[in-house]
Amino acid sequence: MQATALELKPQEGVVLENRNSFLCFMKIADEKRQLRKRILSQRRNLDQGQKEVWDRAILEQLKQWEQGLSADVIHVYWPMTDEVNLKPLYQQWIKAGKKLVCPKTLPKGLLENRILSDLEDLEEGVFATYHPATAQVYQGAYDLVLVPGLAFTASGHRLGFGGGYYDRFLKEAPIKHTVAAAYPFQILEHLPVEVHDQKIATVLYP
């Protein structure tokens, strides 16, 4: 019997499924690209006075939230100029005797996680990132990981920068808790999500 419009031959079905999957992937990729462009623009144009108010509020939230965990080993990132400034809290954590780990960005979507013991002992890496200059690599478990991102949902979905670095790290590393700090305009009702995208347990914002 010949195949009708509703009865695809196996080969045709595979082609159609692959084509639909490709179109879906392209649609999601385009949505992510447009969102990244929009959020980056909003961050760059954020009023400095408003940024400082939100930064202080988020720092206090994160400080109190972490106290409930009593984390000993915390994976942090060095914030870019227009990201939430978490550096004052890093200094407090170091003084409190917590072990901080900060990543160096490597090729092929990998992170080299280095111990951060001095906020002045930094060197510039790729994509305008900074990491500890002293290559003391940490390979253990984490009580808490601070996760950067461009946008989040209340349920923990995350839009990163597109390199997949943190999706790989969050999937593979032994981690107890994850948290993200964001500005109000970075919290969206919906985000385009792919299978490899990792969720964040807690998102803090003013």
- Per-residue pLDDT 10s for the chain (206 aa) are 333 333 333 444 433 345 556 556 567 788 899 999 999 999 999 999 999 999 999 999 999 999 999 899 999 999 999 999 999 999 999 999 999 999 999 988 889 999 999 999 999 998 888 999 988 999 999 999 999 999 999 889 999 987 889 999 999 999 999 999 999 999 999 998 888 889 999 999 99
This prediction has a pTM of 0.85
| CATH superfamily membership of 40-204 | NagB/RpiA/CoA transferase-like (3.40.50.10420)
Contacts of 13 (CB under 8 A, 6+ apart): none
- Boundaries of every domain in the chain: 40-204
Residue 97: burial class (beta carbons within 10 Å; 0-12, 13-18, 19+): exposed
